[in-house]
Amino acid sequence: MRFEGSNTYVATPDLMLAVNAAITLQRPLLIKGEPGTGKTLLAEEVANALGAPLLQWHIKSTTKAQQGLYEYDAVSRLRDSQLGGPDGERVRDIANYIVKGVLWQALEADRPTVILIDEIDKADIEFPNDLLRELDRMEFYVYETQQLIQAKHRPIVFITSNNEKELPDAFLRRCFFHYIKFPDSETMQKIVDVHFPGLKQALLKEALEVFFELREIPGLKKKPSTSELLDWLKLLLAEEIPPEALRSKDRKVAVPPLHGALLKNEQDVHLFERLVFMAKHNR
Ligand X SMILES: Nc1ncnc2c1ncn2[C@@H]1O[C@H](COP(=O)(O)OP(=O)(O)O)[C@@H](O)[C@H]1O
Interface residues with another protein (CB under 8 A) are 13-14, 17-18, 20-21, 24-25, 27, 29-30, 32, 74-75, 77-78, 81-82, 125, 163-166, 169, 172-179, 181
Q: Which of 114, 161, 226, 232 binds ligand X (CB under 6 A)?
A: 226
Cβ distance to ligand X smaller for residue 230 or 253: 230
Helix crossing, 226-238 with 185-195: angle to 10°? 50
Cβ neighbors of 251 (< 8 A, separation 6 or more) are: none
Torsion on CA atoms 26, 40, 133, 129, rounded to nearest 10: 140
Cβ distance to ligand X smaller for residue 149 or 263: 263
Residue 63 as a binder of ligand X (CB under 6 A): the answer is no
Distance CA 124, CA 165 (A): 9
The phi-psi region of residue 77 (left if phi > 0; otherwise alpha if psi is between -120 and 50; otherwise beta) is alpha
Cβ distance to another protein smaller for residue 169 or 240: 169
Least separation in angstroms between CB 204 and ligand X: 15
Residue 76 as a binder of Mg ion (CB under 5 A): the answer is no
Least separation in angstroms between CB 90 and ligand X: 40
DSSP3 helix / strand / coil % (the chain, rounded to 5): 50, 15, 35
Torsion on CA atoms 50, 55, 58, 63, rounded to nearest 10: -140
Cβ distance to ligand X smaller for residue 33 or 155: 33
Least separation in angstroms between CB 225 and ligand X: 7
Least separation in angstroms between CB 118 and Mg ion: 6
Q: Which of 145, 163, 227, 248 binds ligand X (CB under 6 A)?
A: 227
Q: Which amino acid is at 183?
A: P
**Do the Cβ atoms of 138 and 104 come closer than 8 Å?**
no
What's phi and psi for 196, nearest 5 deg? -130, 75
Q: Which amino acid is at 265?
A: N
Q: Which segment (35-43, 61-69, 105-113, 206-214) binds Mg ion by CB under 5 A?
A: 35-43
Count of positions (residues) in the chain: 283
Task: Return the one option of another protein, ligand X, Mg ion, none that residue 27 interacts with (CB less than 5 to 8 A, by type).
Answer: another protein
Residue 40 as a binder of ligand X (CB under 6 A): the answer is yes
**Do the Cβ atoms of 114 and 158 come closer than 8 Å?**
yes
**Do the Cβ atoms of 145 and 98 come closer than 8 Å?**
yes
Binding-site residue total for ligand X (CB under 6 A)?
A: 15
Cβ distance to another protein smaller for residue 131 or 236: 131
Contact residues: Mg ion, CB under 5 A: 40
Contact residues: ligand X, CB under 6 A: 9-10, 33, 35-41, 191, 194, 226-227, 230
